[in-house]
Structure 1
Amino acid sequence: MKPMLPTLTFDLTLQPDWLYEVKYDGFRAILNWDKNGITLTSRNDKPLLPQFPEIKDFLEPLEKHFQPFLPLQLDGELVFLENPYKAHFSAIQLRGRTKAAKRIAEQAAKSPCRLMVFDILVLAGKPQHSKTFHERKARLSELFNQLNFPLEADPYSNNLLQLVKAHKDFSRLWENVVLHDGEGIIAKQKNSLWEEGKRSLQWLKYKNWKYVSCFITALEKTNGYFYVGVYKEGTIQGIGQVLFGFKPDEKQALQSTIKQNMVSEDHQFIYVEPAICLEVKYLELYESQLREPHFHRFRFDLKPTECTYEQFIFKQKNLPEDLDITHPDKPLWKSHDIQKADFILYLREVSPYILPFLENRLLTVIRYPHGMFGEPFYQKNCPDYAPDFVKTHVSEGIDYIVCNNLKTLIWLGNQLAIEYHIPFQTIYSKGASEIVFDLDPPSKEDFHLAVKAALLIKEVLDQLNLIGFIKTSGNKGLQVYLPLPEDVFTFEDTRLFTSFIADYLISKDPDSFTTERMKKNRGNRLYVDYVQHSEGKTIVAPYSMRGNEHAGVATPLYWEEVDYSLDPVNFNMQNALLRLRKQGDPFKNYFQTKSIQSFGPVLEVLKAKK
């Protein structure tokens, strides 16, 4: 069976009778399950199960659950899921080329691929083609509900059959696709029918292009491709070839110019010196070549020497187009090779994980205009020169920045705002949005005290059926979080709990913990600052960097990682990104936990004992 295909568009007109799905980059696949068993076939009708046996291995043990819905036929994309909005194209290509059975089995077990299902073609033996897309999508969602499968994409779930959700709000979905560096969006007409083998205008693909400034190096005689490159350390680095996107007169004029100014030619190419600069849009860099390149515009304002590999790699991260990053090669740390560009790219990479914590919160930043080579300063008031897109909120006479989007975050990064500190409530909250215990030992040599305190707190949380999260402070301590439902508990309520925990820690180990406010009276004990958790006070945001010598990051942890072997120095900029890629985000379910946190009953007991 040949699948229905979307049509590429560069100009997506938003209409009320359309729905929008994440476009995942992988292998289009149709899953069929009938009395003959399970098959998975590509758009060219090639079997995919020999290369991706994990899909069948996942489904077969669930045959009893699927039985009421068989025969079943599902349409989807086979992917290596990197995050909820992006599939890793290179990874699935590598899997597709693997031939050795042993290697396939190893990869299937270690890094399984997933079938992202977006349509249902046969259900319980009944064809669904005559139903509208909206009706088919409803039946598909119902099927996932009945199977008790998750209704959201999740790269860390063991479920290898996942639903591609249809969204009504294009803008919100597009923001997430860009934020997570996804491939794009498929727009589908609600009343469209499934048409086998047709490339339809009822389904439109709208891609998240990246842009590179480059120059032409050659023209291929046989097919008219223009070869493009950039300068890397003074030599020309080829990055691919482009044919599409030119108007006929542009292509003709360009070919004539190249022929008139050629420096040499052979049987295949006409070569020119770097002179004509272009901006090319593309999806990603794959095996050192541009994927799906399209001409965007001529760059007569650029010299070829300005088209560099460093700029190419920097822009590949899809930073906001109209933001100029100043002095990208500025060194920031004395003992680490971290330049300003590296810090900006770090912010870009962690933006999906830090922004939910910054959203709608009064932001205090610590800026390091000279990196670690000069004096930092706190900034609460939004500066007069901030661009219009930077939103603010006035509180107690201070015009705070509210960082709700990637553009504001990158602008702050360009201002060398290294640390991001937020209050324990949003601008809309009347009470505490969470409880945070800041476990700050007297020195980095006493970090074991923070570990001891955290583990004791975890014991209490488990006994009280409360859900806690933990992160490093980025300096020498640990911080334990209890997310709370919004506008339910006051800071007076939470103070009862924080003082209860402080008293508990001291009763368990008075030689290790204290609530003594005077430093000279604490000795080598960890100060349990339950007073700090109050309105107007702040805590460093998850994934914020710190301005210390080890380039620390306030790094979320899994509870099973918390033991006495932890070394806070290991949680730095580079390792934070590696952890996210390999282990995922330990705070992934933080905001969902708010609705199920059973803090109320605990509070009632504390109030009764007061």
Structure 2
Amino acid sequence: MSTDNIVVAVEERQVRLTNLDKVLYPGNRTTKSEVIDYYAHIAPVLLPHLQDRPATLRRFPDGVTGESFYEKDVSRHAPDWVRTAEVATPNSSRGRDSVHFPVLDDLATLMWAANLAALELHVPQWTVGPRGGIRPPDRLVFDLDPGPPADLVLCCRVAEHLRAVLAEDDLTAYPKVSGGKGLQLYVPVRVNAPERTSAYAKAVAQRLAAQLPNLVVHRMTKAERTGRVLIDWSQNNPAKTTVAPYSLRAQPEPTVSQPVTWAEVEDCTTPGQLRFTPADTLDRVQDDGDLWTPLLDPRRACPLPRRASPARTPR
């Protein structure tokens, strides 16, 4: 049997792995086999953050230099053992009332997705229950996106301001680099209505943009973003997703959306300081475990205030 097309046993499931020698990252000749190997080794810390979250797969069948597509509905080709969640899509461009998203909550399903060249794994800020019911958001996210010539360093400075604002409302933020040019802050929250997180995030972004007009914008208009950082509050829309922690990213060479410490954010003076390869990530996890473990503890979730506190500059 060719070693480029094999069936392996993963937790009592049979997973077919194909085209293992295909190069998916030409920059350093990373193959599909190496991508699958990374996801297999990072699974113990990655899977808890995918648990119960309908995933959108960003697939690169011909590698990062080829065409890619986002896949949500896997009902036509997923093995019958892959858990799916049927989610209503009333505004679907394809005219579908609902689609069946994969839920990547075990190693076999993760290996199945990796074999599809799903390099990037994107998930919403909410989960589904055992019967598929959609729960209210449990995470608040701020996506910091720099407009050239601004870079990740400026994102770090803005993140420090944002952290202070959230602390005024008794909220604790956990940072991660996007794996590209940006930074994201996540907050474990407890809300009753899905629109609460977007409303609060928008208010915070508007306040910081008013206080720091030379650093921050809250609108998507590209002309306004030059040399400043967009605080993208709209990622809290229940219909949107963000890249999962420990997911690979589609760069010329593989990078990882990596949780980082606040000390690393504060010490960042060049973008390369917070660029992590798959090997870097595995080493960090071996040494420090999952920096985002607190986000998995429901006791850390805090209610959102009715209104965001006025922004204050950190000392």
Q: 1:528 aligns with which of 225, 231, 251?
A: 231
1:372 aligned partner: 64
Using the alignment, how far apart are the partners of 1:350 and 1:413 within structure 2? 12
**Superimposed CA distance per residue, residues 255-295 of structure 1 (whole angstroms, 9 cap, x where no aligned partner):** xxxxxxxxxxxxxxxxxxxxxxxxxxxxxxxxxxxxxxxxx
1:344 touches 1:410 (CA, 8 Å); kept in 2?
Answer: yes
Distance change in 2, residues 1:597/1:566 (3 Å): farther
Task: Tell me, in whole angstroms, the C-alpha distance in 2 between the residues paired with 1:566 and 1:588.
Answer: 27
Instruction: Note the C-alpha offset of 1:470.
Output: 0.8
Counterpart contact for 1:444–1:476, Cα < 8 Å: no
Q: Secondary structure at the match of 1:484?
A: strand
SS of 1:408 mapped into structure 2:
helix
Instruction: Give the counterpart letter for 1:597 in structure 2.
Output: A
2:269 maps to a residue whose letter is S
TM-score, normalised to structure 2, is 0.84
Counterpart residue number, 1:472: 177
CA distance in 2: counterparts of 1:338 and 1:377, whole angstroms: 20
Asked whether the 8 Å contact 1:471–1:554 carries over to 2, the reply is yes
1:572 aligned residue (265, 274, 277): 277
User: Where do residues 108-507 of structure 1 align in structure 2 (5 Å cutoff)?
Assistant: 322-396=14-88, 397-428=98-129, 429-443=134-148, 446-485=151-190, 488-507=191-210
Q: Is the 8 A contact 1:443 1:476 kept in 2?
A: no
Deviations 1:4-45, CA, capped at 9 Å, x for gaps: xxxxxxxxxxxxxxxxxxxxxxxxxxxxxxxxxxxxxxxxxx
For residues 133-184 of structure 1, what are the alpha-carbon distances to aligned partners after superposition, in whole Å with 9 as ceiling and x for unaligned?
xxxxxxxxxxxxxxxxxxxxxxxxxxxxxxxxxxxxxxxxxxxxxxxxxxxx
**Secondary structure at 2:158's aligned position in 1?**
helix
- Distance across 1 between alignment mates of 2:294 and 2:135: 23
SS of the residue corresponding to residue 24 of structure 2 reads coil
How far apart, CA to CA, are the structure 2 residues paired with 1:329 and 1:319? 24
Superposed CA deviations along residues 512-564 of structure 1, whole A, max 9, x for unmatched, are 11123321233322122223311111111111111111312110111111133
Deviations 1:347-392 (A, max 9, x none): 0111111211222222111101111242111111105232111121
Q: Which amino acid aligns with 1:426?
A: T
**Structure 2: which 5+ residue stretches go unaligned?**
89-97, 310-315
Q: Is 2:287 the partner of 1:595?
A: no
User: How far apart, CA to CA, are the structure 1 residues paired with 2:188 and 2:164?
Assistant: 17
Inter-CA distance 343–319: structure 2 relative to 1 (3 Å threshold): farther
Cα distance in 1 between the residues matched to 2:105 and 2:27: 32
2:241 matches 1:538: yes
Q: Single out whichever of 321-330 and 387-396 deviates more from structure 2.
A: 321-330
Instruction: Name the residue aligned to 2:313.
Output: none
Deviations 1:441-485 (A, max 9, x none): 124752222111111112223333322211011111000000123
Count of residues in Structure 1 that have an aligned counterpart in Structure 2? 292
Q: Go from structure 1 to structure 2 and tell me whether the alpha carbon gap of 1:518 and 1:559 turns closer, same or farther (over 3 Å shift).
A: same
- Which whole-Å CA distance do the structure 1 matches of 2:277 and 2:11 have between them? 22
Query: Structure 1 residue 320: deviation in Å?
Result: 6.3
- The higher-RCO structure (CA 8 Å, 6+ apart) is 2
| Aligned counterparts of 2:276 and 2:250: Cα–Cα separation in 1 | 13
Paired residue secondary structure (1:332):
strand
Report which stretch shifted further, 418-427 or 529-538: 529-538
Partner Cα distance (1:575, 1:567) in 2: 15
Q: CA-atom RMSD, angstroms? A: 2.6
Percent of counterpart pairs with the same letter? 30
Task: Output the CA distance in 2 between the equivalents of 1:327 and 1:468.
Answer: 40
TM score, norm. by length of structure 1: 0.45
* Unpaired stretches in structure 1, ≥5 consecutive residues: 1-301
The answer to whether the 8 Å contact 1:393/1:400 transfers is yes
Match of 2:250 in 1: 547
* 1:58-69 correspondence to structure 2 within 5 Å: none
Deviation, 1:590, is 1.6
